[in-house]
Amino acid sequence: MPDASARVRELNLYRQYFDLVAAGTKTVEVRVKYPHLADLAAGDIVRFRAKGTDETCDVRVKRVTEYPDFEALLDGEGPAGVNPTASRGRQLADIRAIYPPEKEALGALAIEIERLADQ
């Protein structure tokens, strides 16, 4: 159960990534550094929702690290935590298919997560 004092954020995930988070194998979420995520911090709870469904999975944020772009993020974090089922090149292509260059220019966030045990 989430700590009552922790902030809870809701974020959507495509099904393939949601399933990896729910299985506990995806330990780093990649996001653009949007203003609404600027104060995301260790200890916060993120409730991921499988896009287009009511299915959710709660995780605790362990760390948030900022990078100038997705390539630097994958170099710094390594691809295994971001998506253990895809190569670095495939991941970079997939991330850039979701976020166009003008979004990537805002910066990238690596959000280290751990699935909450009670789910």
Pairing of strands 108-115, 8-13: unpaired
| Nearest by Cα to 67 from 26, 25, 112, 98 | 112
Residue 11 neighbours by CB distance under 10 Å: 16
Q: What is the pTM of this model?
A: 0.92
Please give the biggest Cα pair distance in the chain.
Answer: 40
Strand partners, 64: 111
Q: Going from the N-terminus, what domains does the chain have, and what CATH number goes with each? A: 8-115 (2.30.130.30)
Q: Give the pLDDT of the chain (119 residues) as one tens digit per residue.
A: 555 567 899 999 999 999 999 999 999 999 999 999 999 999 999 999 999 999 999 999 999 999 999 999 999 999 999 999 999 999 999 999 999 999 999 999 999 999 998 65
